[in-house]
Structure 1
Amino acid sequence: MMEEIPEWVKAAQAKWKYRGLRRPSFAIEPQSGQESVWDYPRPPRIVRDQRHVIVRANGRIIADSQSTYRVLETASPPTFYIPPSDVGNSVLLPRAKSSLCEWKGRAQYWSMKMDGLVLEDVAWSYMNPFPGFEVIAGYIAFYPNRVDCYVNEELAQPQPGGLYGGWVTQDIVGPYKGEPGTGSW
């Protein structure tokens, strides 16, 4: 069942300063084969991606897919959403914790139990996303600052700040939302 967008969330959506319509003067100019996060739209766009995505923890493969979705949002590196069938969910534990994205809806968080250890909040998913984001319902996104996330064998770097889950790779240029003072980006 799809969640309806509350009016206060619609008001929050309207407050964003940058919407991907033009690059700000401080944006890095992309080179051939690169994308600028400042060209991504707001509200975010979902794009099918067939590059090889692997997620590892303690050297063990947790997810392996060539059928992901990337969510592209102004000022943020892409976040990869992996189909649940490509995730070894036997290591994932649902958490009671949740948060609300003004575009995608209520996120459920996942921890991972592996080798006797529990790693908190390694991933999240939207079980009942807002309209326009139904295609990622149940898909799982991993934090590259908590597990190793690869795109075509390149280890993705985490989006700055620790709060967001974007995957920074060589084909993406910023600067990126997440650093101090970037909350309105």
Structure 2
Amino acid sequence: MGRDGTDTNGTDANGTESVWDYPRPPRVEPDTRHVVVRHAGVTVADSHRCLRVLETSHPPVFYIPRADVRAGLLHASGHGSFCEFKGAATYWTLVPEPGHPPVPDAAWSYEDPAPDYAALAGHLAFHADRVDACTVDGEPVRPQPGGFYGGWITAEITGPFKGGPGSQGW
């Protein structure tokens, strides 16, 4: 335990994590909890082998191994962005079963991440607000506000979180 009553991951005695205890630059850590992404009645991803990225002011982002994502449902969208730490991001459109509309930019990945984030290669992250449901150990996830960053909020995560109104300059 640290002097502030938190362990080295920022978790306090009650099991809560403040995003303000997360590092900058971000840290990547393994997470073996059961992560599931569902959309249009289909399990899109199901894993116990995720990586979690922790960054100051952001809820964690869960990166799921590509091998644990149902093949054939994601297609590169042609969109991208750049993270000063992780590098160039590729966005993916989710194309669920026939009869359901595609979901543009539902997921993203770092196909060739910066060296400090090499572990993220071969993993995908999903925007919780663009699919029907994301869960961590059965708990429904709330999306990070603002629609851009893609963090997942669960009961143990406390904010305030970047992405909401008035947080642009954080």
Shared fold (TM-score, shorter chain, > 0.5) = yes
Pairing 1:134–2:118 present = yes
Pairing 1:118–2:118 present = no
Number of residue equivalences: 158
The TM-score normalised by the length of structure 1 is 0.82
Letter in 2 for 1:127: E
Cα distance between partner residues in 2 of 1:89 and 1:143: 18
Letter in 2 for 1:170: A
Secondary structure at the aligned position of 1:89 is classed as coil
Pairing 1:68–2:50 present = yes
Cα distance between partner residues in 2 of 1:87 and 1:51: 16
1:92 aligns with one of 74, 78, 85: 74
Which position in structure 1 is the counterpart of 2:130? 146
1:40 aligns with one of 22, 27, 31: 22
CA-based RMSD of the aligned residues comes to 1.5
Cα distance between partner residues in 1 of 2:118 and 2:169: 26
Using the TM superposition, give the Cα deviation of residue 31 of structure 1 relative to its aligned residue in structure 2, in angstroms. 6.3
Which position in structure 2 is the counterpart of 1:12? none
Which position in structure 2 is the counterpart of 1:179? 164
Which position in structure 2 is the counterpart of 1:53? 35
Letter in 2 for 1:124: W
Secondary structure at the aligned position of 2:44 is classed as strand
2:62 aligns with one of 69, 75, 80: 80
Cα distance between partner residues in 1 of 2:152 and 2:38: 14
Letter in 2 for 1:77: P
1:41 touches 1:72 (CA, 8 Å); kept in 2?
A: yes
Instruction: Return 5+ residue gaps in structure 2 as ranges.
Output: 5-10
1:78 touches 1:167 (CA, 8 Å); kept in 2?
A: yes
Q: Which moved more, 1:110-119 or 1:93-102?
A: 110-119
Letter in 2 for 1:45: R
Cα distance between partner residues in 1 of 2:137 and 2:41: 17
Using the TM superposition, give the Cα deviation of residue 131 of structure 1 relative to its aligned residue in structure 2, in angstroms. 1.8
The TM-score normalised by the length of structure 2 is 0.89
